[in-house]
Amino acid sequence: MTQHQTFSLGPTALACGIALPQVTLAYATYGHLNADRSNLILYPTSYGAHHDDIDWLIGPGRVLDPDRYFIVIPNQLGNGLSTSPSTLGLPFDKGRAPKFSHLDNIAAQDRLLREVFGVEQIALIYGWSMGGQQALHWAALHPERVARLCVTCTSARTSPHNKLFLEGLRAALTADATWTGDRFDGHPLRGLRAFARIYAGWAMSQTFYRENLWQGAGFASREDYVQRAWEGNLMRRDPHDLLSMIDTWMTSDISDNPVYNGDLRAALGAIRAPSIVLPSDTDLYFTLADSEIETAMMPDAELRPIRSDWGHRAGNPGFQPQDEAVLRQAVADLLAR
């Protein structure tokens, strides 16, 4: 694992109305903060990911360049490294963990930037999937502090169809015999395997499987791909944390706060940052059509679809250099402004 640090926020009131006596934000940094503190890029984590799952795109000549920019990856609440159901003690364990929201994530990240790094202005926020949701929350809630925005395969408000996908994941995981109704009393092996198989079907496109594109990623068969890339990945995580992040994703909405009172058009219209929105044209749950609707409400945003057979993973293309090139160009175009 890439070395990470922790920032203690102390007693913290969450958006759900529960106050925790201690909240900890885990984060990793890459590169160096310049003298005027103007080169910080914020790169929040996606579903189920730790910082070292998504930092492959950081490097000279990659999407985010640590030779020029200071890149900070904050681990979202609920992911197992920052405060999560798996890290909480009494009275918040054993099925009593509070629900985290992106409002909580942005508040924690805001304190990190101000109190640890002394940074007010963010040069760029880059985010994929749930990381993109956090980026959009930032740009709507703190428009004066976000200079540029690049988001891929994400949404400003979780769509009804996306919620149905998430409900299916939750149903599969909690169908395991170890589920008591509010927590797991053992390791839900069958539930996690079912969860991973459903996820594998939704995350990649039909063409990906029809054309056996998993071969290009070094897998021997479709089953080898599902077991190693999906079961092996998700079974590393605590099941309570996986459910927690589903709740955060389900309720993601940049307008669901006292500033915008549910008015999505007003929230998107408040984003000042020059933005590039990159949906994958084969993403099955963050769809191109949904991105078209949302991007049209942003005053200075370009919709730049990724033409790819890799579905949702076109936005995090560890095995697909063509898709990475699209992301790299988008970031370069924004940073040149």
Give pLDDT tens digits for 76-101: 999 999 999 999 999 999 899 999 99
Number of structural domains in the chain: 1
Q: Is residue 191 part of a domain?
A: no
Rounded Cα distance, 302 and 118, in Å: 31
In this prediction, residue 303 carries a pLDDT of: 98
- Residue whose token pair is 């160009």: 329
Asked if residue 24 lies in contact with residue 83, where contact means CB atoms within 8 angstroms, the answer is yes
Residue 37 lies in a domain: yes
**pLDDT at residue 249 in the model:** 98
Cα-only R_g, the chain: 19
**Per the domain annotation, does 21 fall within a domain?**
yes
51, amino acid identity: H
The 3-state DSSP class for residue 9 equals strand
Provide the domain limits for residue 37.
Answer: 5-159+253-335
Look up 182 and say whether it is catalytic. Answer: no
DSSP reduced 3-state for 240:
helix
Dihedral of CA 123/127/131/136: which sign? positive
What DSSP string runs through 272-303? -S-EEEE-BTT-SSS-HHHHHHHHTTSTTEEE
Q: What is the DSSP letter of 97?
A: P
Dihedral over Cα of 204, 209, 212, 214: its sign: positive
CA distance 21 to 39: 33
Choose the catalytic residue: 84, 86, 129, 275.
129
Query: In the annotation, is 129 catalytic?
Result: yes
In whole angstroms, what is the distance from residue 43 CA to residue 63 CA? Answer: 11
As a whole number, mean pLDDT of residues 149-175 equals 98
Residue 65, both tokens: 């360049």
Task: Kindly report, residue by residue over 116-146, the tens digit of the pLDDT.
Answer: 999 999 999 999 999 999 999 999 999 999 9
Q: Is 38 a catalytic residue?
A: no
The residue from 256, 283, 309, 323 that is catalytic is 283
Helices (H), 81-181: 102-111, 130-141, 160-174
Q: What is the pLDDT of residue 214?
A: 96
- My answer on whether omega of the bond before 66 falls inside 30° of 0, hence cis, is no
Calculate mean pLDDT across residues 200-216: 97
Q: In the structure, what pLDDT confidence band is assigned to residue 1 with cuts at 50, 70 and 90?
A: low
Q: What is the distance between the alpha carbons of residues 34 and 37, in angstroms, rounded to a whole number?
A: 5
Q: What does pTM read for this prediction?
A: 0.97
Residue 272 belongs to some domain of the structure? yes
What is residue 94's predicted lDDT score, i.e. its pLDDT? Answer: 87
Q: What is the CATH number of the domain that holds 121?
A: 3.40.50.1820
Tokens of 155: 């949404």
- Signed CA dihedral, 154, 14, 267, 38: sign only: negative
The rounded distance, in Å, linking the Cα atoms of 301 and 297 is: 9
CA-based max dimension of the chain: 56
Percent of the chain beyond pLDDT 70? Answer: 100
Is position 42 within any domain?
yes
Is residue 129 in a domain?
A: yes
User: What is the phi-psi region of residue 154: left when phi exceeds 0, alpha when psi lies from -120 to 50, beta otherwise?
Assistant: beta
- Cβ atoms of residues 275 and 139 within 8 Å: yes
Question: What does the alpha-carbon distance between residue 158 and residue 152 come to, in Å, rounded to a whole number?
Answer: 14
- Quickly state the pLDDT bin for 169 (edges 50, 70, 90): very high
